[in-house]
Amino acid sequence: MDHVFIEGLEIEALIGIYDWERSIRQPLVFDLEMAFDNRVPAASDAIGDTLDYAAVCERISQFVGQSGFGLVETLAERVAAMVLDEFKVSRVRLKLSKPGAIRNARAVGVCIERSR
C-alpha cells in the first residue's frame, strides 16, 4: 500500500490537565502517515483523485483548534478517527508531540496506528 504523509503540522491548542494549561494555547506538532492507493491519481494526474493533504491539514487544524482535551492520548485518538472517517484512507499512523512540556525534553507525546 502507498502512503501519503504530513510532517510537522503545527497547531496551537488548548490541551492539558493542569489549571495553568487550561488558560493558554500550546503548540502541538502532528506527523501523519496515511495508507492510500496512489495508482489512480498517478494515472489521471487529477487532484480530485488524490488524498488532498491540504484538505487533511485544514480539517485537522480546524478540529484541533476548537478542541479542549486534557490528554494528548484523547486528542490523538479523535484525530485518527476523524481522518479515517472523513478521508479515503485505510490506515493512519499519527505522532502527536507536545514540545516543551517536560523540562530538558524537546517534546513528549504519543504515536498511534489505527485502521478501518
Q: Which of 98, 100, 101, 112 is catalytic?
A: 98
98 labelled catalytic:
yes
Domain that holds residue 81: 3-115
Sign for the CA dihedral angle at 105, 110, 113, 116 comes to: negative
Cβ neighbours of residue 69 closer than 8 Å, sequence gap 6 or more: 15, 75, 78
Which residue numbers in the chain have pLDDT < 50?
none
d(CA 80, CA 101): 22
Number of compact structural domains in the chain: 1
* pLDDT for res 1: 86
Domain harbouring 66, CATH code: 3.30.1130.10
Q: What is the pLDDT of residue 36?
A: 96
Amino acid in position 68: G
**CB neighbours (10 Å) of residue 43?**
9
* Cα 82 to Cα 55: distance, rounded to the nearest angstrom: 13
